[in-house]
Amino acid sequence: MEYYKRFVRRNKDYVHSLESLANGLTWLLPERFSESEIGPEAVTSFLGIITTINEHILDTTPTQIRQVESSSFPLSLCVTLLKDLETLVEVAGQQLYGEENKWNFMAVTEAIKASLRLASFRNSGYKVLLHGGESINDGNDHSDFDSRRNVISKNHHENNSQNLEGRALFALSRFGENARTISEPTWLRRVQHQQAIMDPPSPVAETTSLSDFLSEKGISGGFFLTGEVMFILRPLVYVLLVRRYGVRSWLPWLASFGVDLVGHGIISAVRHSSNDFRLSNAEKSELKRRKFLWALYLMRDPFFTKYTRRRLDGTQKVLEPVPVVGLLTEKLVELITGAQTRYTYMSGS
């Protein structure tokens, strides 16, 4: 493993070229392979994992200035890797065990993500969780965008363009990119090699215990913890309710939206009423990102089937006689409808 790390760090441009070549070769997969969505998703997940690991190796180069996690276990990396795998888990679960049973696998996936996020929340000293745990909240502000995740996301959309849901995800990728770019990046900015040698790495701050946090912040701290834990557990609550009552039931949709509203409301109230909680620009942007993702509720059943789909069909019929525009609208509606069938595309988790 150390040999591989040295190879990646010494040949980062070559490694990036190989990643781009591998992503391009996925277009040459035979048609019979694309008939099963498991194959393309497996290739996409594998390439995403390799890219994520390579970027993590580069970001943890000893000569680089970086903010390291207080835990030796890379929780943020684990969350990112799990998100690279979750669509494959969903597709494989559905095709091998059926639509209803796939929610068992999604429940396990969300439970693992929730556990990792809770651990990351604790290790950060109970700060606002950035990007669902994919970013390390060091309390500082950074101006760089998350180029690594954008590259992975772009490759994911390109690789999946061979099936309906993949093309739909590509059409909707701008939404996810906008949601991410208004908040902090997943990996911190890189600095020049010479400057990294001159300046020592940032020391790891001692983790704040729960008792110390509550004694310092008081009742406001308790409310803040409640709001943040609600945000972390919300996807798991939704999946468990869907598993019990079905995706067509209003209960999972309303319960999930209610948890989002209440949790965000608690954090906002604490933020404005207590001087003990001064959020950084990154944390403020994270709260805005979470509100932006509420738009995904328009794409989840039963709201989508009852309201959004009707609006899309109505718009398609109005624009159908218009040359070119009508054809583009028809394709767009088809892609949106295809993407909507995937929980992982619309989960906001």
Q: What is the pLDDT of residues 52-105, one digit of tens each?
A: 777 767 777 665 444 445 445 688 888 988 988 898 899 899 888 988 999 999
| Token pair in block for residue 27 | 């277009």
Question: Is residue 255 scored above 90 in pLDDT?
Answer: yes
| Whole-number pLDDT of residue 62 | 67
**Quick one: pLDDT at residue 208?**
80
Token pair 């906001």 is at which residue? Answer: 348
Q: What is the CA radius of gyration of the chain?
A: 21
What is the average per-residue pLDDT within 131-152?
61
pLDDT of residue 4: 72
Distance CA(112)–CA(82), nearest Å, equals 9
Instruction: Give the Cα separation of 121 and 134 in Å (integer).
Output: 11
pTM of this prediction exceeds 0.85? no
Q: Which secondary-structure segment (H or E) carries 314?
A: helix 309-319
**How far is CA 217 from each of CA 222, 232, 323, rounded to the nearest angstrom?**
8, 20, 62
Write down the pLDDT at residue 29.
55
pLDDT in tens, 300-330: 999 999 999 999 999 999 998 888 888 999 8
